[in-house]
Amino acid sequence: MSLISVLPACGLMQPEVAMRSAVIEVAAGANDDTPIAVDFLAVNDPDLLKTLLTTSSGQWFAAREQYRRDYPQALQVWGLEVVPGQRLAVDRVPLAGADALGVVVFASYDAPGAHRLRLEGERDVRIRLGSRDLQLMQAGP
């Protein structure tokens, strides 16, 4: 099943976030042993989605508030902060069911890099924040 599902509503097809749960695992010592901000974005504008898929996490976090002001109807953000060695399990993702054409995740590593994922295909998401980057893992315990 895709992370974005299409449900009929009043005869119209509206894509929405199908992700229902998330597990975020942070490696011990990750990000030089400092906290990492993680933002999940539900994006409901094709041009904004295209832009965000070429944006690095540094660019996102620097301009996050401006994006939120510029796209109040097209962008929903679920933000959290994790620490090295933490395992966070969320049974009810706040973005579940939100109108969206795509879901993008940014992690605020101190190291250079995109530190970005596009989520597709899962209702239950598992993300591993390693020492220098994040990756999508197979769902499971």
Dihedral sign from CA coordinates of 29, 32, 34, 37: negative
CB neighbourhood size of 15 (10 A)? 17
Mean pLDDT of all residues in 91-99: 93
36-43, strands of its sheet edge to edge: 75-82, 36-43, 102-107, 116-119
CA distance 61 to 32: 19
Tokens of 86: 């933490």
The listed CATH number (3.30.1380.20, 3.30.365.10, 3.40.50.300, 2.60.40.4150) that belongs to domain 4-136: 2.60.40.4150
- Among residues of the chain, what percentage have pLDDT more than 90? 82
Q: Which helix (H) or strand (E) holds 7?
A: strand 4-9
For the chain, the residue count is 141
How much is the pLDDT for 139? 62
Q: Whole-prediction pTM value?
A: 0.88
pLDDT of 39-60, one tens digit each?
A: 999 999 999 999 999 999 999 9
* pLDDT higher than 70, residue 7: no
